[in-house]
């Protein structure tokens, strides 16, 4: 499907989605509560068939936290970007897409580890790279470490 | 932590062992907490982060040309490909068209690093299975590629040859001849690899039907690169989203459908042949021209999100840059193929022997610094 | 079990094993194919590639002059802070004030050989040298001062 | 026969008479045993060290390397330097290990291999003990080594060691069978279990030629099974450094590790010596029935050169296996034994018995 067709299709599925044309991919912004449902339909419907999660990225936008999902269809070879944000920085929570794409398991653990976004229904959400007793989430913009991070 | 895990999985029959962080077959500091029942693997829990350096955090503080020396140190066995990914992202964001010469040289060196990486994988895989001699043959031939790199780029393992806007310097005048000599040599030596390991009945028995993963599962787990193509998942980014010269050269996407360790092995061996084919098509036709375009002294990406996929030696390597218009990225994410490939190891090695776990983790070709970043 | 299959299996297996032994055996009986070198002994004969990134040096000409103007671009571009430049004000004969380097400090222990300092230097004052034997017994010796004692800026290089 | 010029019987007899004429029988026996023990201990250490050097050099050449070349000419003294290093190393004791068993395990392994040498004929008359059940003795004693390995793995309090030891146990118990059966095939041909008789019987042609295809099969099976029994080559599952770090000797250091190491190489030597004796005629020169001139010429080469020459050729073969093949998995190892080697072996014994019965051998 081309980007235009995808745009139409997504607007039909979720009218509240904000769609921005990126350089190559469409970026679909949806509220975190609706993301899972949209992802599920996108994966399961025959003409989109987004069965391959390329990349899952967590971002700290200073005021809110965001998660990007780069998904691709191995059958049709079209890609799309899903984006969601949560304003709650203390208890940020997004639905896990592990049940759709198993490759999300480590991606989500990594995001939880470094950005502190919790994923609901993740089977094994614990720290990925850092120690279990580490305090804070290093990729957040307000993370301070006076010993190891040298500001220039 | 170990005690905790042990308590949850140690039943009367199962027991846990730690494979790693220091273990001969994890090629670095990866730790598997393996619960075994006799010799049968029941559960594998990988623990990463022993060389987590926080490259993504570091990148937020430095400029785009400086990122190159950090991506070098992620997947150090195919460092050039990672660099090219970052450079491509920056160049596409700035909408700069690279000169043909740069594209040619980048493609050739990328394929050379792919061969070098697969060679090292081959010898390490042979060593994992106990064939120590493979290790030296692989390294011997890899040395020839490293020599070519050293002559042109100045670095052997870590070249830092790419930079946003082209290459650091032009190729050495001997480059073309040396590459041609290497290909001639390697076409003669590669069949020896097959005689020594591929055809060997012990190896075949060790690799066949070990670590099976179906195509659907492979896609679901996001297995890319040779590991995914061994299951029949046509995930070669060089074909699916061509970059550099890959859209214009003729090569085959190697696909096997068996989905076992042997298939993943064969994909890599065949990919070496395909890489040589690509290089041969390009090496004689490198067009004259600049080796770099003039860039501004301080590179600032316009505000926005930029995503670039490349095919690294181990799978799909993605760079995702979110820019706020400054000279350094607001957020940069590297999608490491190794980390995603590792996801599947538990499903693959279930109910196999502990020796098979070694073979399976070897066949996924994990590079730990890339995984941990 | 198929008896013929059983026997052919054995023969095929043995032949595949012999093929492997042929490869290793052929190398065993050809000692001239040895590729390793005796390193410290062949030090004199070692030829390094001219572009090899061994260390960063500041080439000086015969009159003990270098090209570094002390602009500090390399210091800015270095991702690890391994370069530090200490400058002072030099008053030339006609009374103009000019910046000149006192010390170009290079910490090879922190250097990652990314080549950005060499690439961005406007007066091409730095270059790579193919020396690779950097092992020393104390960390202090990894800090090097690149400009030689008493060296001055080459004529014609503008800062 | 000319090869009697190299007969050591009179020499050993002379020493024996000398001792018995000057000392009381009890003391003479003690002195004799001590002498033989010392000679063997020295030979054991020397052969072991040389084998380590040889292995490193052989594998280096196969792998396009130079191999040891720093200590002494061609690195000949490298292993001696290694031995000194191992002697000086700290003996690490492990918490929660079974101290007694942990300490005696390396000795059991090394004693088992040491005992085997007693039965090997190095040349005519150069024989510590000419048992009339020599073959049986060697098989019985050599299988004792596995006890040491099992004890080492158990007492180390390390799961890797335990897995290694268990693998080793399973492996040796099953491959013992093939070693035994392939030797029995040759015993059927020789009609004796005494090593001296077996060697003498090969004076007109080695058994590997005499027994047609049947003895060739027995030889191949013996090579495979004995490589497995010495925990070497493609069958080094007990150590399996890429899976179990170092298997049963993970926790050993210093001289205790050296014992395991030395025992492994000596086991290889013993197995090769037995193969050389039983299949290739031991110290017996190459004789072809009927060609008197050729046989006489061959006799001028001293028998111990024949013996060591044959042994080292077989050792080279075993090294060649080790440095070419990948390692088997435990279930494949057992499959190979029980599904391939054992049935073939049993049929082979029958064929050999039939051949001997019909008198079709040479």
The 3-state secondary structure of D235-262 reads: HCCCCCHHHHCCHHHCCCCHHHHHHHHH
Average pLDDT for chain B: 85
**Residue C79 C-alpha, separation from nearest chain B C-alpha, in angstroms:** 6
With tokens 């571009």, the residue in question is: C77
Nearest CA in chain B to A126: B47
Contact B343 A114 (CB under 8 A): no
d(CA B229, CA B232): 5
Contact B343 A106 (CB under 8 A): yes
User: What does the pLDDT read at residue B196?
Assistant: 84
User: Do B240 and A77 form a contact (C-beta atoms < 8 A)?
Assistant: yes
Residue A71 belongs to some domain of the structure:
yes
User: What does the pLDDT read at residue D290?
Assistant: 67
Residue A50 belongs to some domain of the structure:
yes
d(CA D352, CA B228): 53
Question: Is the predicted pLDDT of residue B225 greater than 70, yes or no?
Answer: yes
Count of C-beta atoms within a 10 Å radius of residue B185: 12
Q: Are residues B257 and B216 in the same domain?
A: yes
**Domain range for residue A13?**
3-120
Residue D243 belongs to some domain of the structure:
yes
d(CA B227, CA B233): 9
DSSP B188: H
Burial of D106 (0-12, 13-18, 19+ CB in 10 A): buried
DSSP D73: G
d(CA B259, CA D334): 26
Burial of D76 (0-12, 13-18, 19+ CB in 10 A): middle
User: What does the pLDDT read at residue D93?
Assistant: 79
Each residue's pLDDT tens digit, D195-254:
877 877 777 777 777 777 788 888 888 888 888 888 887 888 777 777 777 778 888 888
**Number of domains comprising chain B:** 2
Closest to B150 (Cβ–Cβ): which among C24, C49, C114? Answer: C49
Residue D43 belongs to some domain of the structure:
no
Each residue's pLDDT tens digit, B126-160:
888 888 888 888 888 888 888 888 888 888 888 88
Question: Is the predicted pLDDT of residue D2 greater than 50, yes or no?
Answer: no
Each residue's pLDDT tens digit, D288-305:
666 777 777 777 777 778
Neighbours of chain C (3+ CB pairs under 8 A): B, D
User: D9 or B160, which is more confident?
Assistant: B160
Q: Which runs of consecutive H residues, i.e. helices, occur in chain B? A: 2-9, 55-59, 64-71, 79-94, 100-128, 132-153, 175-193, 201-207, 215-221, 225-229, 237-240, 261-283, 337-343, 345-349, 354-363, 368-372
User: B5 or A145, which is more confident?
Assistant: A145
Each residue's pLDDT tens digit, D64-80:
888 888 887 888 888 88
CB-based burial, B280-294: b 16+ in 10 Å, e otherwise: bbbbeebeeeeebee
Question: Is the predicted pLDDT of residue B10 greater than 60, yes or no?
Answer: no
Neighbours of chain A (3+ CB pairs under 8 A): B
Fold annotation for C55-153: Alpha-Beta Plaits (3.30.70)
Each residue's pLDDT tens digit, C5-44:
888 888 888 888 888 888 888 888 888 888 888 888 888 8
Q: What is the mean pLDDT of residues D105-127?
A: 81
Closest to B68 (Cβ–Cβ): which among C23, C35, C114? Answer: C114
Chain B residues within an 8 Å CB radius of A101:
220, 222
Strand partners, A80: A71
Q: Are residues B131 and B7 in the same domain?
A: no
Neighbours of chain D (3+ CB pairs under 8 A): B, C
Percentage of residues of chain B with pLDDT beyond 90: 0
d(CA B195, CA C19): 6
Q: What is the mean pLDDT of residues B339-359?
A: 85
Tell me the C-alpha to C-alpha distance, in Å, between residue B49 and each of A11, B34, D108, D139: 41, 17, 43, 51
**Domain range for residue B299?**
55-372
Each residue's pLDDT tens digit, B44-84:
888 888 888 888 888 888 888 888 888 888 888 888 888 88
Q: Are residues B25 and B68 in the same domain?
A: no
Q: What is the mean pLDDT of residues B351-368?
A: 85
Chain B residues within an 8 Å CB radius of C53:
154-155, 160
The answer to which of B5-9, B162-166, D177-181, D307-311 has the lowest mean pLDDT is B5-9
**Domain range for residue D340?**
95-358
Q: Are residues B220 and B259 in the same domain?
A: yes
Is some CB atom of chain C closer than 8 A to the CB atom of B202? Answer: yes
d(CA B74, CA D130): 65
End-to-end CA distance of chain A, in Å?
Answer: 47
Each residue's pLDDT tens digit, C59-105:
888 888 888 887 888 888 888 888 888 888 777 777 777 777 788 88
User: Do B30 and B21 form a contact (C-beta atoms < 8 A)?
Assistant: yes
Residue A107 belongs to some domain of the structure:
yes
Q: Are residues B26 and B165 in the same domain?
A: no
* CATH code of the domain containing B91: 1.10.645.10
Question: Is the predicted pLDDT of residue B8 greater than 70, yes or no?
Answer: no
d(CA B223, CA B314): 10
Pairing of strands B166-167, B162-163: antiparallel
Percentage of residues of chain B with pLDDT beyond 70: 97
Chain C residues within an 8 Å CB radius of B297:
120
Closest to D326 (Cβ–Cβ): which among B23, B136, B206? Answer: B206
Angle between helices D99-117 and D145-155 (to 10 degrees): 160
Contact D236 B196 (CB under 8 A): no
**Residue D224 C-alpha, separation from nearest chain C C-alpha, in angstroms:** 12
Contact C49 B160 (CB under 8 A): no
Segment holding D269, helix H or strand E? helix D254-280
* CATH code of the domain containing A49: 3.30.460.80
With tokens 């029935």, the residue in question is: D289
A in contact with D (at least 3 C-beta pairs within 8 A): no
Residues in chain D: 362
B in contact with C (at least 3 C-beta pairs within 8 A): yes
Strand partners, B15: B36
Closest to C27 (Cβ–Cβ): which among D62, D66, D69? Answer: D62
Residue D130 belongs to some domain of the structure:
yes
Residues in chain C: 159
Reported as a pLDDT band with limits 50, 70 and 90, residue C159 is low
Closest CA to D225 of D351, D342, D54: D342
CA angle centred on D72, ends D70 and D78, rounded to 5°: 65
Closest to D234 (Cβ–Cβ): which among B23, B196, B202? Answer: B202
User: What does the pLDDT read at residue D1?
Assistant: 44
**Number of domains comprising chain D:** 1
Contact C28 D61 (CB under 8 A): yes
Closest to D326 (Cβ–Cβ): which among B136, B137, B202? Answer: B202
């Amino acid at each position: 499907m081309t980007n235009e067709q995808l745009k139409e299709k997504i607007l039909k599925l979720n009218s509240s989605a904000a769609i921005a044309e990126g350089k190559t991919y469409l970026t679909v912004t949806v509220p975190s509560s609706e993301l899972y449902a949209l992802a599920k339909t996108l994966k399961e419907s025959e003409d989109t068939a987004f069965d391959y999660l390329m990349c899952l990225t967590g971002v700290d936008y200073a005021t809110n936290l965001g998660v990007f999902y780069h998904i691709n269809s191995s059958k049709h070879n079209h890609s799309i970007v899903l984006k969601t944000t949560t304003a709650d920085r203390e208890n940020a929570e997004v639905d896990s897409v592990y049940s759709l794409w198993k490759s999300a398991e480590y991606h989500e653990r990594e995001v939880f580890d470094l950005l502190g976004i919790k994923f609901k229904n993740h089977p094994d959400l614990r720290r990925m790279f850092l120690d279990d007793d580490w305090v804070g989430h290093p990729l957040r913009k307000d993370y301070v470490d006076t010993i190891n991070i040298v500001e220039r | 932590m170990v005690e905790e895990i042990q308590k949850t999985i140690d039943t009367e029959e199962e027991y846990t062992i730690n494979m790693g962080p220091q273990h001969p077959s994890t090629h670095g500091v990866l730790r598997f907490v393996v619960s075994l029942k006799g010799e049968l693997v029941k559960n594998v829990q990988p623990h990463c982060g022993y060389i987590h350096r926080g490259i993504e955090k570091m990148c937020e503080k430095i400029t785009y040309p400086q990122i190159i020396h950090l991506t070098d140190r992620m997947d150090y066995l195919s460092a050039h490909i990672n660099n090219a990914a970052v450079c491509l992202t920056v160049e596409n964001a700035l909408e700069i068209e690279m000169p043909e010469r740069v594209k040619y040289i980048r493609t050739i060196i990328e394929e050379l690093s792919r061969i070098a990486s697969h060679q090292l994988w081959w010898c390490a895989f042979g060593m994992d299975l106990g064939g120590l001699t493979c290790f030296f043959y692989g390294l011997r031939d890899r040395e020839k590629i490293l020599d070519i790199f050293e002559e042109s780029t100045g670095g052997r393992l870590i070249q830092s040859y790419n930079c946003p806007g082209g290459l650091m310097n032009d190729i050495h005048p001997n480059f073309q001849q040396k590459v041609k000599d290497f290909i001639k040599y390697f076409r003669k030596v590669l069949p020896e690899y097959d005689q020594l390991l591929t055809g060997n009945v012990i190896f075949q028995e060790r690799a066949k039907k070990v670590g099976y993963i179906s195509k659907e599962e492979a896609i679901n787990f996001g297995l890319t690169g040779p590991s995914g193509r061994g299951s029949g998942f046509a995930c070669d980014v060089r074909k699916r989203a061509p970059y550099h010269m890959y859209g214009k050269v003729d090569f085959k996407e190697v696909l096997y459908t068996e989905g076992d360790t042997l298939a993943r092995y064969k994909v890599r061996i065949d990919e070496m042949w395909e890489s040589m084919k690509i290089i041969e098509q390009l090496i004689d036709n490198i067009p004259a021209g600049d080796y770099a375009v003039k860039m501004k002294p301080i590179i600032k990406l316009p505000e926005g999100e930029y995503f670039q996929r490349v095919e690294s030696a181990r799978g799909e390597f993605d760079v995702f840059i979110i820019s706020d218009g400054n000279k350094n990225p607001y957020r940069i994410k590297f999608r490491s193929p190794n980390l995603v490939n590792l996801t599947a190891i538990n499903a693959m090695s279930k109910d196999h022997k502990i020796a098979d776990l070694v073979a399976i983790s070897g066949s996924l070709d994990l590079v730990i610094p890339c995984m941990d970043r | 079990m198929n008896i013929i299959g059983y026997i052919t299996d054995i023969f095929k297996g043995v032949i595949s094993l012999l093929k492997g032994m042929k490869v290793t055996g052929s190398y065993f009986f050809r000692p001239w194919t040895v590729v390793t070198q005796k390193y410290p002994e062949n030090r004199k004969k070692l030829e390094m590639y001219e572009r090899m990134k061994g260390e960063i040096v500041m080439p000086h000409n015969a009159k003990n002059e270098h090209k570094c103007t002390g602009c500090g671009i390399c210091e800015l571009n270095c991702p690890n802070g391994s370069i530090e430049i200490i400058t002072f004000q030099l008053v030339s004969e006609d009374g103009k004030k000019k910046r000149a380097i006192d010390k170009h400090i290079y910490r090879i222990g922190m250097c990652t050989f990314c080549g950005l300092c060499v690439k961005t230097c406007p007066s091409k004052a730095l270059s790579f040298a193919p020396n690779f034997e950097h092992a020393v017994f104390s960390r202090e010796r990894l800090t090097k001062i690149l400009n030689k004692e008493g060296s001055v800026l080459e004529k014609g290089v503008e800062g | 026969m000319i090869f009697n010029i190299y007969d050591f019987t009179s020499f050993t007899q002379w020493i024996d008479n000398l001792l018995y004429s000057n000392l009381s029988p009890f003391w003479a026996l003690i002195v004799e045993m001590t002498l033989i023990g010392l000679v063997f201990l020295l030979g054991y250490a020397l052969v072991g060290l040389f084998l380590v050097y040889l292995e490193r050099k052989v594998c280096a050449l196969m792998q396009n390397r130079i191999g040891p070349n720093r200590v002494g000419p061609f690195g000949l003294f490298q292993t001696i330097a290694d031995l000194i290093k191992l002697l000086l190393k700290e003996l690490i004791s492990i918490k929660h290990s079974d101290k007694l068993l942990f300490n005696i395990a390396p000795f059991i392994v090394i004693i088992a291999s040491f005992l085997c040498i007693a039965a090997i004929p190095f040349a005519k008359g150069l024989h510590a003990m000419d048992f009339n059940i020599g073959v049986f003795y060697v098989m019985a004693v050599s299988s004792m080594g596995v006890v040491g390995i099992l004890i080492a793995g158990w007492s180390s309090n390390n799961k890797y060691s335990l897995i290694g030891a268990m693998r080793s146990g399973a492996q040796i118990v099953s491959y013992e069978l093939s070693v035994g059966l392939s030797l029995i095939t040759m015993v059927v041909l020789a009609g004796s279990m005494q090593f001296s008789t077996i060697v003498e019987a090969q004076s007109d042609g080695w058994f590997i030629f005499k027994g047609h295809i049947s003895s060739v099969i027995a030889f191949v099976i013996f090579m495979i099974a004995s490589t497995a029994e010495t925990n070497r080559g493609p069958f080094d599952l007990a150590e399996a450094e890429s899976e179990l770090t170092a298997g049963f000797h993970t926790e050993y250091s210093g001289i205790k590790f050296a014992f395991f190491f030395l025992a492994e190489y000596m086991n290889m030597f013993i197995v090769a010596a037995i193969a050389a004796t039983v299949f290739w005629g031991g110290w017996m020169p190459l004789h072809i029935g009927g060609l008197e001139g050729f046989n006489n010429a061959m006799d001028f080469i001293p028998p111990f050169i024949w013996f060591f020459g044959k042994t080292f050729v077989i050792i080279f073969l075993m090294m060649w296996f080790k440095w070419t093949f990948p390692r088997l998995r435990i279930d494949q190892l057992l499959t190979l034994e029980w599904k391939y080697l054992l049935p073939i072996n049993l049929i082979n014994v029958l064929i050999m018995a039939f051949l001997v019965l019909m008198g079709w051998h040479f």
